[in-house]
Amino acid sequence: MTDSTGGKAGRARDAIRELLDAGQSVWLDYIHRGILKSGEFKRMVEGGIRGVTSNPTIFEKAITGSHDYDEQISRLAADGKSTTEIYEALVVDDIRAAADTLRPVHDATGGADGFVSVEVSPLLAHDTEGTIQEVRRWNTLIGRPNVMVKIPGTAEGFPAIEEMIAEGRHINITLLFSIDAYRKVQEAYLRGLERRVAAGQPVHQISSVASFFVSRIDTEADKRLEARAAAAPPEQAEALRALRGKVAVANAKLAYRLFQETFGGARWKALASRGARVQRPLWASTSTKNPAYPDLLYVETLVGRDTINTLPPQTIEALRDHGRVAPDAVTQGVDEADRVFAKLHELGLSIDAITQAVLDAGVQAFADSFNQLMKAISSRGQDVKAGGRR
């Protein structure tokens, strides 16, 4: 990562500041003990980064892909800690360090920004009560005011979201892919706030984001479009292939339209009059997976007020190098987004099937990463007990 005081970082700071001026915060979609200890993350925050997200895959890569965690794992294993206890200690330390670095941002924005997110166990994605208990536990374990616990946007997650908002907790809803699921998340947020108002409790201090995943939609849609095109007559094949790389941005733009409608209506205004904050859309999975597409496809098209874009380091570097910021880009071409969806339906492809497939795959991928990480920690612990090290 380039130092934030010069070179490419000067352009990075400008691009990120332009996004801030356009109403969008940039959060780092990456966490690693190395950047926390070296001061690199602190420099990024000083350069305009306003938050950081984590998930089981990020932690699995960080912990198993470096030696930065070895000493702590060995020490905790030697102390007789279980695999779960070791995992939680590693995560808590990193989340606390990131939260402390972001605390000045949190304080300067009156608690509106400067958050670090940590995810409930992906094994609880379909367990409402288990999710509720884990959110409470993570908040207690970490003990920082600028932490958001992630709850997945599953059917079982929706009631947990409402309950946690009603308790006054900061929640990041993750693995959102469909407009219908996003609508249910908004309803859960509004109901949670309304319950607090009815109970005479404050709502002004609560922050929440809805993480709407982007690039994975194109990955799945393109696969289906190509498969259908391969078996279609030439004219229809051309129409199918013309939709490649367009479904994800269309989906996100329609989600943002729903955001504007929900948080511009009378029901919301009643809550806003009591100081409630909008639940910001957070664009997740915004690195470009298909090398045929522009590397900032899911960044430059989704600039919008009251939004967040989470970027991995390589996408931040691309933003530094050649990013262009067009304010309110996410509100442009919404009619075209409607046409993309209409054409998709006309050609016999279901957006609901696409979004359900990527949701199922996302839940499974996080569960797999979590299980692999727990196995790696367990293996290291067994090495220590046997008197050796890897």
**Is residue 12 predicted with pLDDT exceeding 60?**
no
Report percent pLDDT > 90 for the chain: 93
| Whole-number Å distance between alpha carbons of 293 and 224 | 17
Residue 6: the pLDDT is 38
56-89 pLDDT, tens per residue? 999 999 999 999 999 999 999 999 999 999 999 9
Q: Which of 150, 184, 246, 253 is catalytic?
A: 150
289-298 pLDDT, tens per residue? 999 999 999 9
Average pLDDT of the residues in 280-284: 98
**Is residue 98 predicted with pLDDT exceeding 60?**
yes
289 counts as catalytic: no
Residue 380: the pLDDT is 76
Average pLDDT of the residues in 362-375: 95
Q: Are 222 and 244 in contact (CB under 8 A)?
A: yes
Query: CA 98 → CA 27, 107, 117, distances in Å?
Result: 12, 14, 10
The token pair that represents 257 in the structure block: 């339209």
Query: CA 65 → CA 68, 76, 371, 373, 380, distances in Å?
Result: 9, 19, 15, 10, 13
Instruction: Kindly report the average pLDDT of the chain as a whole number.
Output: 94
Residue 2: the pLDDT is 43
**Would you place residue 384 in the very low, low, confident or very high pLDDT band (cuts 50, 70, 90)?**
low
Residue 320: the pLDDT is 83
Per-residue b or e along 271-282, where b marks 16 or more CB atoms closer than 10 Å to that residue's CB? bbeeebbbbbbb
159-180 pLDDT, tens per residue? 999 999 999 999 999 999 999 9
**Is residue 286 predicted with pLDDT exceeding 70?**
yes
Domains and CATH numbers, the chain: 8-218+247-332+352-385 (3.20.20.70)
**Is residue 10 predicted with pLDDT exceeding 60?**
no
Residue 385: the pLDDT is 61
Residue 8: the pLDDT is 45
DSSP structure string for 272-313:
HTTTPPP-EEEEES-S--STTS-TTHHHHTT--TTEEEEE-H
- The mean-pLDDT minimum among 13-22, 244-253, 323-332 falls in 13-22
Tokens 């990075």: give the residue.
Answer: 12
Residue 117: the pLDDT is 98
Q: DSSP 3-state assignment of 79?
A: coil
297-353 pLDDT, tens per residue? 999 999 999 999 999 999 999 998 999 999 999 999 999 999 999 999 999 999 999
Report percent pLDDT > 70 for the chain: 94
Residue 3: the pLDDT is 42
**Is residue 388 predicted with pLDDT exceeding 80?**
no
